[in-house]
Amino acid sequence: MELSFRDEIAMLRLGAGETFQGEGILAVTKALLQSGVSYVGGYQGSPVSALLDVMVQAREDMQALGVHVEACTNEAAAAAMLGASIMYPVRGAVTWKSIVGTNVASDALSNLSSPGVLGGALIVVGEDYGEGASVIQERTHAFALKSQLWLMDPRPNLPTIVHCVEKAFELSEASNTPVMLELRIRACHVRGSFVAKDNRAPTIGTHQLLTEPAPFIYEKLAHPPVTFAQERKKIEVRLPAARAFVEASGLNELFDGPHDKLGLIVQGGLYNTVIRALQQFGLADAFGNSQIPMLVLNVVYPLVPTQITQFCDGKNSVLVVEEGQPDFIEQEITALLRRAKVDTVLRGKDVLPPAGEYTAEVMLGGLTRWLEADGEGLATAPGRLLLSNVADIRQQAGSLLGAALPPRPPNFCIGCPERPVFAALKLVQREVGPMHISTDIGCHALATFEPFSFGNSILGYGMSLASGAGVRSFQQRRPVAIMGDGGFWHNGLLSGVSGAMLNGGDGVLVIMKNGYTSATGTQDVVSTPGAESRRVAQGSSATEGELTIENTLKGMGVRWLKTVHTYKVAQVRDVLRDAFTTPQAGLKVIIAEGECQLERQRRVKPMRARQLKQGLRVVRTKYGVDDETCTGDHSCIRLSGCPTLTVKPSRDPLKRNPVATVEQGCVGCGLCGEVAQAAALCPSFWRADVIVNPSWWERTRDRLRRGVISMLQPA
Q: Are strands 294-297 and 262-267 parallel, antiparallel or unpaired?
A: parallel
Query: How far is it, in rounded angstroms, from Cα 310 to Cα 227?
Result: 36
The C-alpha atoms of residue 646 and residue 633 are separated, in whole angstroms, by 12
pLDDT for the residue 220: 92
Cα–Cα distance measured from residue 374 to residue 353, given in angstroms and rounded to the nearest whole number: 18
Q: Phi and psi for 555 in degrees, rounded to 5? A: -65, -25
pLDDT tens digits, residue range 157-187? 999 999 999 999 999 999 999 999 999 988 9
Question: Within 10 A of 576 (CB to CB), how many other CB atoms are there?
Answer: 26
Report how far apart, in Å, the C-alpha atoms of 203 and of each of 67, 120, 174 are: 10, 13, 18
Model pLDDT, residue 537: 46
DSSP 626-676: -TTT--S--HHHHHH--TTEEEE--S-TT--SPEEEE-TT-----HHHHHH
DSSP for 363-423, written as a single string: HHHHHHHHHHHH-TT---HHHHHHHHHHHHHHHHHHHHHSSPPPP----PPTT-TTHHHHH
The predicted structure's pLDDT at residue 536: 43
**Helical H segments across 23-139, by residue range:** 24-34, 49-57, 59-65, 75-81, 84-87, 98-113
- Quick one: which of 410, 511, 355 has its CA closest to 134? 410
Q: Could you count the other beta carbons within 10 Å of the beta carbon of residue 341?
A: 8
| 535-549 residue pLDDT tens | 444 544 444 445 689
Which domains occur in the chain, in start order? Answer: 11-247 (3.40.50.970), 254-401 (3.40.50.920), 419-535+546-599 (3.40.50.970), 617-712 (3.30.70)
> Which residues in the chain come in under a pLDDT of 50?
1-2, 533, 535-537, 539-545
Q: Is 117 exposed, middle or buried (0-12, 13-18, 19+ CB in 10 A)?
A: buried
Rounded Cα gap, residues 666 and 642, in angstroms: 9
pLDDT value, residue 591: 95
Instruction: Please give the pLDDT value at position 531.
Output: 58
- How far apart CA 583 and CA 191 sit, in angstroms, is 59
pLDDT of residue 3: 58
pTM over 0.85: yes
